[in-house]
């Protein structure tokens, strides 16, 4: 059982930094921040969960079954992530590429302490065993000084390298195009890794800086023991509210420019670009098919198609697909039947994932997986882990990956430039 205390308080940037700075003392931290984007239709302005009471950490083998059992057994808030490599639990696939990060394939925990920020109010949900700490914790949070929460200057401690040269990237995209022209796939998301070894990262300070320049609607900071995620994700994977589920895939990207007229011209070009629109529509069809596996007949709807949204670094085309879940379908089954998300795989999904595994040189791991939560009622909300820095503090390995959708119309050189545009914010803070 949980004790709930509501406090009226202005939900602003300083409070968020105070909360997260206070939370950093714990071994398990999940922070989710909408950065006040209304389109994201999140339940809360921000959510913080800390300190595990129980936890589930496993590799891909029977991972979804274990998660379903854990979610049903706790019937409480649980927070965590699903890595891309859980594809191997859904389909007879494998992940054999190099992995410098060594994250578990799945990690969820039942937090002792939860903070829900919404409508100028902070709700504190504490397990009864620690509810006597509510007042003390709140006092400590408010005492976190501005000096502690201001972004420190993040110093480079090692150089960030590309796993592929531009020439190698182009050669691999050309091999993917050969599969496309042969008809094995219609579209696939090809990704490349940037990495640094022996990197002494300041995770929290770097996250503050990344969030300041990106202001993404599905931002996240995750700390689980020695493993960190610093995410400026603009994309939602899947959200469930009652019997309704929505997915919001992104396909179609243009960079932002400081000149207003030039920026507007790029927006209009993206809005009318046949290649970018076709990328988006192909993934919408894939998501519609995935959602139909657990939906009531005839309930799958496209609420928005190729709607243009602008973020700090890029313009994006986003579609919204919804469905009503059929009776008797568990929350985890809705995720299993749609995982991994179509925007990060391609169509047909299984063929695309096989080709991705062949042509990419590093294991994706948490990149292009998702992070989020389940509520006690079985609702959930998960982002797509893109525009994100991953870090293993025990071996000091830092990684971030970027990708783009490859279709028959793709120009490998332009796809490489799109990857650099997406990587700009991560490069800047590092």
Active site (catalytic) residues? 235, 251
Rounded to a whole number of angstroms, the CA Rg of the chain reads 21
- Residue 186 and residue 282 in contact, taking contact as beta carbons nearer than 8 Å: yes
Distance CA 13, CA 224 (A): 24
Q: Read off the tokens for 26.
A: 């714990």
What is the enclosing helix (H) or strand (E) of 212? helix 203-214
Nearest-CA neighbor of 238 among 314, 296, 295? 295
End-to-end CA, the chain: 42
Give, in order, the Cα–Cα distances in Å from 394 to each of 23, 29, 57, 126, 390.
Answer: 20, 17, 18, 30, 13
Q: Which helix (H) or strand (E) holds 34?
A: none
How far is CA 247 from its chain centroid? Answer: 13
Chain center to CA of 264 = 28
Q: How far is Cα 103 from Cα 88, in angstroms, rounded to an integer?
A: 15
Structure tokens that stand for 168 in this block:
């190698």
User: What is the spatial distance between Cα 156 and Cα 169, in angstroms, rounded to a whole number?
Assistant: 26
Say if residues 1 and 75 touch (Cβ distance below 8 Å): no
| Count of Cβ atoms closer than 10 Å to residue 387 Cβ | 27
| Helices (H) then strands (E): counts for the chain | 12, 20
């Amino acid at each position: 059982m949980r004790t709930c205390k509501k406090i009226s308080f202005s939900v602003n940037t300083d409070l968020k930094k105070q909360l997260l700075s206070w939370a950093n003392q714990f071994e398990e931290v999940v922070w989710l921040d909408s950065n006040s984007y209304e389109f994201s239709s999140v339940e809360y302005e921000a959510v913080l969960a800390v300190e595990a009471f129980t936890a589930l950490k496993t590799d891909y083998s029977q991972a979804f079954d274990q998660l379903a059992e854990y979610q049903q057994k706790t019937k409480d808030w649980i927070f965590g992530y699903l890595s891309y490599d859980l594809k191997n639990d859904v389909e007879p696939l494998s992940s054999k590429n190099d992995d410098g990060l060594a994250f578990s394939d799945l990690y969820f925990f039942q937090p002792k302490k939860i903070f829900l920020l919404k409508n100028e109010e902070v709700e504190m949900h504490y397990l009864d065993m620690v509810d006597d700490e509510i007042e003390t914790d709140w006092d400590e949070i408010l005492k976190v000084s501005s000096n502690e929460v201001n972004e420190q200057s993040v110093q480079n401690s090692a150089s960030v390298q590309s796993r592929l040269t531009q020439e190698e990237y182009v050669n691999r995209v050309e091999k993917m195009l050969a599969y496309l022209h042969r008809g094995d796939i219609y579209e696939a998301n090809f990704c490349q890794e940037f990495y640094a070894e022996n990197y002494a990262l300041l995770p929290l300070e770097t996250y503050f800086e990344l969030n300041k320049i990106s202001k993404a609607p599905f931002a996240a900071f995750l700390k689980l023991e020695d493993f960190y995620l610093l995410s400026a994700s603009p994309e939602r994977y899947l959200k469930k509210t009652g019997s309704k589920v929505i997915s919001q895939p992104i396909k179609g990207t243009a960079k932002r420019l400081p000149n207003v007229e030039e920026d507007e011209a790029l927006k209009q070009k993206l809005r009318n670009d046949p290649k970018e629109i076709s990328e988006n529509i192909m993934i919408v069809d894939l998501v519609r098919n995935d959602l139909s596996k657990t939906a009531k007949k005839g309930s799958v709807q496209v609420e928005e198609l190729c709607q243009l949204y602008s973020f700090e670094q890029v313009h994006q085309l986003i579609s919204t697909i919804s469905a009503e879940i059929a009776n008797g379908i568990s929350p985890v089954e809705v995720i299993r039947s749609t995982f991994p998300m179509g925007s990060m795989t391609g169509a047909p999904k299984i063929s695309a994932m096989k080709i991705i595994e062949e042509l990419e040189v590093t294991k994706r791991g948490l990149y292009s997986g998702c992070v989020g939560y389940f509520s006690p009622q079985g609702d959930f909300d998960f982002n797509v882990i893109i525009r994100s820095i991953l870090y293993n503090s025990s071996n000091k390995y830092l990684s971030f990956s970027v990708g783009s959708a490859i279709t028959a119309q793709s120009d490998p050189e332009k796809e490489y430039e799109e990857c650099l545009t997406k990587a700009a914010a991560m490069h800047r803070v590092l």
